[in-house]
Structure 1
Amino acid sequence: MTSQNRSSRSSRGTVLLIALGFLVAALMVGGVLWARSHLTWIKEQRGGGAWSLTYEARSVRGEDRATAVRYRHSPGQYETKERDERLGSTTLPWSTEVVVNTGAEARVEVTPAGRGIASCRILLDGVRVVAQGASPGPGKPAVCDVITSSTPEKWPR
């Protein structure tokens, strides 16, 4: 075998390895681009779309206490059923972080003590206010509720 044949085989092997490397890289980049553009669809299929919300309650007037706080949340990101929690006498201000599935109702209700007035807020990711409310009168509950966006990662403005 001549040195020219060996060098020809070597260069063909190198070209083949380079072409194979480019093919693998192209498939990986294509897969990442496809996954990014179909992320919402993927989340909807696996049933894991949920929102991280913060419920807050405060006393506007009267005692810094609520006779009751009720709130709704999803027990887990992959569970479709909502759970209602009820707290008895609660010191205000009060807050809790919850998970609420996409397209589900997020709700908090605060009943002020005596003839007090309370307020409530629901915050998306602990920052953006998506619902707020106040007692319509002394001793009446403040209610905040909102239906979460049914599209994962896209909450309307």
Structure 2
Amino acid sequence: MSSTKTGHRVFKSAAIGGAALAFAIGATGCSAVQDFQKSTSDAWSVTYEVSVTGGDTKTVNDVKYLEAEKRGEDSVEKTSVSETTTPDKKAKGAAAWSVESIVTAEKKAAVSATPGKGATATCKILLDGVKEIASNTGAPGERVDCSVDTPAFAKK
């Protein structure tokens, strides 16, 4: 075999290998950029609250809420068959359940629960534990749902 044919094959193999390496590095680079963008995304501290009055206020049942595992990620649904409420010291016959969560800005925040027999449930979604962005009150004994897209952060 001539040395020019061997050289051509070596060059062709090197070119193919180099292209594959460049593609792999590019794909890894894109992934790293996406991971960085997610880790620096705006995210809200969201408080989900379900308060109950009248009837059986000891628990709320079939509780569902959305939470992002990490900043920048889409929320996933968390579920619980039953959650114990904390009695309200100021209002007799009232109790509440709450949980802190993270939700990426401009993504959906949602909570739902069913009160005990004869109780009325009210759900609320709070940003940073203070600003109410959604609330709803259900009929006695009926499921209550709150859902809202979280706002964008103010531009600096």
**TM-score, normalising length: structure 2:** 0.63
The yes-or-no answer on 1:113 pairing with 2:107 is no
- Work out the percentage of aligned pairs sharing the same amino acid: 33
Residue in structure 1 matching 2:64, options 70, 73, 86: 70
Residue in structure 1 matching 2:52, options 59, 74, 80: 59
Q: Equivalent residue of 2:106, what SS?
A: coil
Aligned residues: 107
Who is 2:150 aligned against? 148
Amino acid at match of 1:67: N
Residue in structure 2 matching 1:46, options 37, 58, 61: 37
Name the CA distance, whole Å, in 2 between partners of 1:153 and 1:87: 34
How far has the Cα of 1:115 moved from its partner? 2.7
Q: 1:100 to 1:130 in 2, by over 3 A?
A: same
Name the CA distance, whole Å, in 2 between partners of 1:55 and 1:109: 9
How far has the Cα of 1:153 moved from its partner? 4.1
Residues 80-102 of structure 1: per-residue CA shift (max 9 Å, x gap) = x2110111121221111111011
Post-superposition, which runs of at least 4 consecutive aligned residues in structure 1 deviate over 3 A? none
Name the CA distance, whole Å, in 2 between partners of 1:128 and 1:111: 24
Q: Which structure shows the bigger proportion of residues in strand conformation?
A: 2
- Alignment root-mean-square deviation, CA: 1.7
Name the CA distance, whole Å, in 2 between partners of 1:63 and 1:122: 23
How far has the Cα of 1:139 moved from its partner? 1.7
Amino acid at match of 1:152: F
**TM-score, normalising length: structure 1:** 0.63
Name the CA distance, whole Å, in 2 between partners of 1:148 and 1:53: 9
Which of the two has higher C-alpha Rg?
1
Matches within 5 A, 1:74-153: 74-79=68-73, 81-92=74-85, 93-135=96-138, 137-149=139-151, 151-153=152-154
How far has the Cα of 1:78 moved from its partner? 3.2
Gap runs ≥5 in structure 1: 1-44
